[in-house]
Structure 1
């Protein structure tokens, strides 16, 4: 006798008056950060049966992570496994009916903007202002709502940002903004800053805040301009939990300054099924000229400059690298000579911020110069700026 296939959540979530199984099954969510908060968010989205989850994190698992990360095991720490990969694997073990994709890397140099565009909501489980600043800029470019969560000790905060309502950068004080600007000079520095230091917290704080973030995500997934919903979201608000005193408060927390540089909107987007990050630069430039009907095209490396070489002060030495800026710190630390020099000298970088017909390394692929798969690239032409998606790469992410 043939057994009817079990549909995840059937007879459980379907009893909820507001729950729409098809919406949840077809939903896509990007979770940035797979630490304590990320574990809780991923777990909850998995239990709800969210159809597709993308997880981005560049860190490896340490023993200290085990006290507040439900998806990690002792063996993962001993194996120095990547958080994103293990979290994705464990999520699919919990719910085999969903798809979970891991991206080991930075949220701004390794996650294509096409992914941001195609998800229903982005959830930030980050532990630094710099990472939030960058995530906010990416979400604003593509018009995407993102949910920010933070925890420290027994305190937790959740905020929701969306274009035209609330902007992380607009809410920064001058001191906070200057602090970030001092540390966002280059991608390798950002990586070092976002992975430095630990915040004292508890698994309870992570559970509470992660649950609130997942709940807000479910509200957004169910929201529709055509149909009224029974929900009140935290859009433009700050929800704060203080475990020491058992107090919960919600505050108005919205700021939208018309002159804020974070509000750039990358639209309209030109889609092209020929373009991929695996293509050589020379072929991409030819294709761009054809699809944009332009004589001159220049790819703007907004997130990740291409480092040609670095020059040390003392002694005066030149080192050819040919790498994306996001790989600079890793390259220096893995090279004995460069690592020793880095303790007592300043490296000056020679780089390409724009890629055009004069670029000397035409045989390199877009991926090799620092553009991730399924990205949306900013292209300058004699007719103005255009935004072009590397649409061929969508297949890597089930899109």
Structure 2
């Protein structure tokens, strides 16, 4: 008789599958972006398969409208205004106590360290906006990771798999779609546009089917071997479309890879910054970077999340000290009574700092405070060239 201490998840079930490799699954790491209807289904299925570590990213809270198609949410979660990521993680570990699910209540672009993207086996996108997909594609391509995109509406659903060297979301955008994204990404609130808003007209059946297909593809990606044949085909470079109205599945070739696309930039040859952490002050990190890289001068580029020193209003002409990362600007304005009133009738001009060096006036602030997340990989310019340095001191927080 098996007991709580002796049984292993999936033993005698998944191990009967000829292609299933227990150790690969147990040690797999999967990042799920979005914890709405699709995210619920995806995380539930990953938990049932026994994926060792799942990371769930979403900044949104649960609403009553989410309950009709989100299997892991309860009425009390909506009344408590609980965060989607927290509840999804909690319920997934109730399904399978032998896995670990880490919730990240934040934005996939500015509040998830790039070291985490580099460390996972596959990324699954459960998002509902073009801008969010654009951002997730950029990060996944930069990390050299395959990402699996899912979308649902009414009784229809689509799954696409994007893999570096084969297919890229940005390459497949029309000029009109790309221009629309560029217009919107110029706004200060772009980093808030990444989660499931819970307002898409769809059904739980669509979410179940598409979420299941996404996880099936993730399992295939996890089991791929460079030199070993596999008994399955993936959707890499393809699009699967499900149409519930007519009970049809259609498969299309959907591979677009343009050599000039800026999204194909990859951050390779990452330097391990042992002992470096986003919890340390700017002053300490600048000092340690000089030692680690054996250089005289260092400059940290804030390309993902500029540091906003001040904002200036047009009418009345007034200057406000903010000293926050750009990703928090919308929230800051909303919480400040004077700024909130002004935001309805005036323009704000930002005074921001994009490169952090010894001239930075707030060196006692931590990297987190200026907008660099835990376990990030920072771009550092020196007299010897450019380096990508991992904040390796934070890696233990995501194991």
Asked if 1:77 is matched to 2:108, the reply is no
CA distance 1:195–1:2, shift in 2 (3 Å): closer
1:219 matched to which residue of 2? Answer: 220
CA contact (8 A) 2:30 2:120 kept: yes
How far did 1:202 drift?
0.6
Instruction: Classify the secondary structure of the residue corresponding to 2:311.
Output: strand
Contact 2:274 2:392 in 1 (8 A): yes
- Counterpart residue number, 1:202: 203
Maintained 8 Å contact 2:110/2:191: no
- Is 2:375 the counterpart of 1:383? no
Map 1:1-399 onto structure 2 (within 5 A). 3=3, 5-191=6-192, 198-398=199-399
Q: Work out the number of aligned pairs and report it.
A: 398
Cα distance, 1:190 vs structure 2? 3.8
The alpha-carbon deviation at position 187 of structure 1 amounts to: 4.9
TM-score (norm 2): 0.97
- The 2-side partners of 1:56 and 1:288 are apart by 29
Alignment partners' CA distance in 2, 1:194 and 1:82: 12
CA–CA distance in 2 between the matches of 1:186 and 1:66?
A: 31
Q: Structure 1 residue 226: deviation in Å? A: 3.0
Per-residue CA deviations over 1:63-113 (Å, capped at 9, x if unaligned) read 000000000000000000000000000000110000010000000111101
Are the structure 2 counterparts of residues 12 and 392 from structure 1 closer, same or farther at C-alpha, using a change threshold of 3 Å?
same
The answer to whether the Cα contact below 8 Å between 2:38 and 2:210 also exists between their aligned partners in 1 is yes
1:300-347 Cα distance to aligned partner (Å, 9 max, x none): 111101010111111111110111111111111111111111111111
The structure-2 alpha-carbon separation of the partners of 1:146 and 1:353, relative to structure 1 and needing over 3 Å to count, comes to same
Q: SS where residue 234 of structure 2 aligns? A: coil
TM, length-normalised to structure 1 = 0.97
Instruction: Please tell me whether the aligned partners of residues 155 and 241 of structure 1 are also in contact (alpha carbons under 8 angstroms).
Output: yes
Note the alpha carbon deviations across 1:214-234, whole angstroms, 9 max, x for none. Answer: 000000111111321111000
Work out the CA distance in 1 between the residues paired with 2:23 and 2:183.
46
Bigger mean CA offset, 285-294 vs 125-134 = 285-294
Task: Name the CA shift for 1:183/1:190 in 2 (closer, same or farther; >3 Å).
Answer: farther
Change beyond 3 A, Cα 1:15–1:29: same
* CA displacement at 1:186 relative to structure 2: 4.4
Given the superposition, is the C-alpha separation of residues 93 and 196 from structure 1 closer, same or farther in structure 2, using an over 3 Å criterion? closer
Q: Provide, for residues 24-69 of structure 1, a one-character-per-residue CA deviation record: whole Å limited to 9, x for no partner.
A: 1111100000000000000000000001000000000000000000
Segments of 5+ residues of structure 1 without an aligned counterpart are: none
CA contact (8 A) 1:55 1:100 kept: yes
* CA contact 1:127–1:194 (8 Å) conserved in 2: yes
Residues 375 and 186 of structure 1: CA distance in aligned 2, closer, same or farther (over 3 Å): farther
3-state secondary structure, aligned to 1:170: helix
**Is residue 34–residue 196 contact of structure 2 (8 Å, CA) maintained in 1?**
no
Rounded to whole Å, the distance in 2 between the matches of 1:2 and 1:106 is 42
Instruction: Provide the rounded CA distance (Å) in 2 between the counterparts of 1:267 and 1:22.
Output: 27
Cα offset for 1:188? 2.2
CA RMSD, aligned part only? Answer: 1.4
Moved more, 319-328 or 2-11: 2-11
